[in-house]
Amino acid sequence: MRIFIAIDLPNAVKREIEKNHKTIAANCRKSRIISTGNLHLTLKFLGEVEENRLERVKRIMNEVAANVQRLELSTANWGKFKSRKGHIIWLGVGGAVNELRQLAQRLNQGLKSINEPAGFSFQPHITVARDALIDKDPADWKPPAKISWVVRQIILYESVYHKRTIYYVKHRSELTN
Ligand code: 2AM
């Protein structure tokens, strides 16, 4: 199964991103917008993992989360990654980004026995559109309204592709209060 660990976004953030689809449309000749229900911030992509390793992944998630405090993030500026078919457009985050990096680092470290990462580089981002042909650098687009939220849990998702991508929640681990 294809799995990854991510942070879910509150509805207010998802709605604000939705409102800003027009910014993407205004600055791209073409793009494929991610459906609102699928928006998330990935902490650790595990890829294909045998189902019998799932319990171990959940245990490691619980251990890491139990030692990390809730953290506050906020929506920030637009950014881009180069991809095969143009660019990925993403929304960056502000706030407790150092703590977020530490959380991702701990997950990465803890999950080494599940998959050996090819060097750790974590760029916190919420992917909003793919296959974009951009006219102007997203760093220069008008950013969405700043919305802050508290991250209370990390979520293990299974990604299933059947005509479209569907994410299923497999596990939730609570951060400490
Ligand atoms: P993305 O948002 O930058 O596309 C589910 O596919 C999640 O896992 C997405 O958030 C995606 O990141 C991430 N993901 C998919 N393939 C990946 C890969 N090879 N390396 C890192 N993250 C990946």
**Lookup: tokens for 124:** 């916190």
pTM over 0.75: yes
Quick: pLDDT tens for 48-91. 999 999 999 999 999 999 999 999 999 999 999 999 999 999 99
- Ligand 1 pocket mutation, candidates 34, 45, 89, 169, criterion most atoms within 8 A of CB: 45
Domain of residue 59 covers 2-174
Domains held by the chain: number: 1
Long-range contacts of 19-24 (CB under 8 A, 24+ apart): 19/144, 20/128, 20/144, 23/78, 23/141, 23/142, 23/144, 24/89, 24/128, 24/129, 24/132
Lookup result for tokens 């050996």: 116
Quick: pLDDT tens for 10-39. 999 999 999 999 999 999 999 999 999 999
Measured in Å, residue 3 CA sits from the centre of ligand 1 at: 10
Predicted confidence (pLDDT) at residue 118 exceeds the cutoff of 80: no
- 10 Å Cβ neighbour count for 75? 23
27 or 162, which is more confident: 27
CATH number for 126: 3.90.1140.10
Q: How far apart are CA 152 and CA 176, in angstroms?
A: 8
How many CA within 13 A on the CB side of residue 95?
A: 18
Quick: pLDDT tens for 128-161. 999 999 999 999 999 999 999 999 999 999 999 9
Measured in Å, residue 140 CA sits from the centre of ligand 1 at: 24
Q: Percentage of the chain surpassing pLDDT 70?
A: 99
